[in-house]
A and B are shown apart, each in its own frame.
Chain A
């Protein structure tokens, strides 16, 4: 298998959406997610010499991002921890050993698994979008994910409405094919 090469000039255009989606599903804050993605690119740049070429560029960047997310949680948890020790765990002595999480956990809550599947699905969609021509992916994201109206997209990208619908049609067809192969 040929060794993978790094091309930092294309990182932001190629991987920023994938990394952002990966991050926001784990930190739930747009601004923090953007900062973490930014930090990931910078850390990648600094550690380019460590890239062995065994993994793809994206996999390598994701591995850096994962460490950034862990560091972020360590930072906020060190502050949270101080608050938690002051919390009242309840008055019942029979509940000795019960952690707060057990007390508040809802046994009927099955959303965690669903959420994980939806997160994975989101990542699969973005992987498929990466395979589309840049213009198609851009228009599709603006229309479908960001929810911009047709007029705004046409103005921003300087295209006609009929052009937009042709692009959307091609993007949807390609995306459906890709998801049928990789997800459904």
Chain B
């Protein structure tokens, strides 16, 4: 078995970890990540912080405008701003 088959770089591990936060990492990728976490403290620490951020984002009630909603507000405001500046 080739070493690279199971072993991944730190950067690749971080990339998989990021994708895993959004449920976009495959089972195979998650397995490789777990393996790396078992011996690499940098990956372990990154994963811990990253998972914490995901938990915080889920816990917090954060809302933001969709692009079209923001554009709508911008459009209304621009009209008034133009009047104000003239």
A binding-site residues for B, Cβ under 8 Å:
8-9, 11-13, 16-17, 20-21, 24-25, 30, 33-34, 37-38, 41-42, 45-46, 115, 118-119, 121-122, 125-126, 141-146, 150, 156, 165, 168-169, 172, 175-176, 179, 183-184
Beyond A125-B56, A125-B60, 13 additional contacts (C-beta under 8 Å) are A11-B77, A17-B64, A17-B65, A20-B64, A41-B80, A45-B77, A115-B61, A119-B61, A121-B61, A145-B57, A145-B64, A176-B50, A179-B53
Given A8-B81, A38-B73, are A145 and B62 neighbors across the interface (CB < 8 Å)?
A: yes
Residues of chain A with a CB closer than 8 A to B64's CB = 17, 20-21, 126, 141, 145-146
Residues of chain B with a CB closer than 8 A to A24's CB = 63
Residues of chain B with a CB closer than 8 A to A122's CB = 60-63
Within 8 A of A (CB), among B59-85: 59-67, 69-70, 72-74, 76-77, 80-81, 84
Residues of chain A with a CB closer than 8 A to B81's CB = 8-9, 45
Distance from A157 Cβ to chain B, minimum over Cβ atoms (Å): 9
Within 8 A of A (CB), among B5-23: 14-15, 18-19, 21-22
Instruction: Check B59–A118 contact: CB distance below 8 A.
Output: yes
Q: How far, in whole Å, are A38 and B81 apart by their CA atoms in the complex? A: 12
Instruction: Check A12–B62 contact: CB distance below 8 A.
Output: no
Interface of B, secondary structure class, is helix
Instruction: Check B18–A179 contact: CB distance below 8 A.
Output: no
Q: How far, in whole Å, are A125 and B67 apart by their CA atoms in the complex? A: 19
Count chain A CB atoms within 10 A of each CB in B18, B61, B62 and give the residue with the most: B62
Instruction: Check A41–B60 contact: CB distance below 8 A.
Output: no
